[in-house]
Structure 1
Amino acid sequence: MRVVVNWGLCDGNGVCSVEAPTVFAIDDDDNLVVLQEDVPAELRPAVEAAARACPKRAITVDG
């Protein structure tokens, strides 16, 4: 499974990092950092929750 972020939509609000902290983080400049682009299957529920929680709908899951 691969995480895809639409960087044009992302505003770095950090909701995704709350839902999936091993996959997403917010850096010191309030920018989203994807810690793992290729995500193991056991993290799929957390990543899907992060995608649903994103207010900008900037995150999608491929695969």
Structure 2
Amino acid sequence: MEIDVDRSLCEANAICVGFAPEVFDLDDDEELVLASDEVPQNQVERVTQAVASCPKNALLIRG
């Protein structure tokens, strides 16, 4: 499973960080940062919840 971020939609409101802080983070400029494009198996459920909860639909699961 991989994650894509549509940076034109992302408002960096950090809802995804709340669901999966091991995968998502905000940098010093309030930009979304992914720990890795590939989601660890033990984070799949949390990342799926984060993607579903994104208010701007800026996250997409691939694979």
Q: Same fold (TM over 0.5)?
A: yes
CA–CA distance in 2 between the matches of 1:58 and 1:2? 14
List per-residue Cα deviations over 1:12-53 (Å, max 9, x = no partner). 111101101011001121111111211122211011111011
Structural mapping, 1:1-63, within 5 Å = 1-63=1-63
| Residues paired across the two proteins, number | 63
- TM-score, normalisation: structure 1: 0.91
- TM-score, normalisation: structure 2: 0.91
What RMSD, in angstroms, separates the aligned Cα atoms of the two structures? 0.9
Structure 2: where are the runs of 5+ without partners? none
Structure 1: where are the runs of 5+ without partners? none
CA–CA distance in 2 between the matches of 1:41 and 1:30? 27
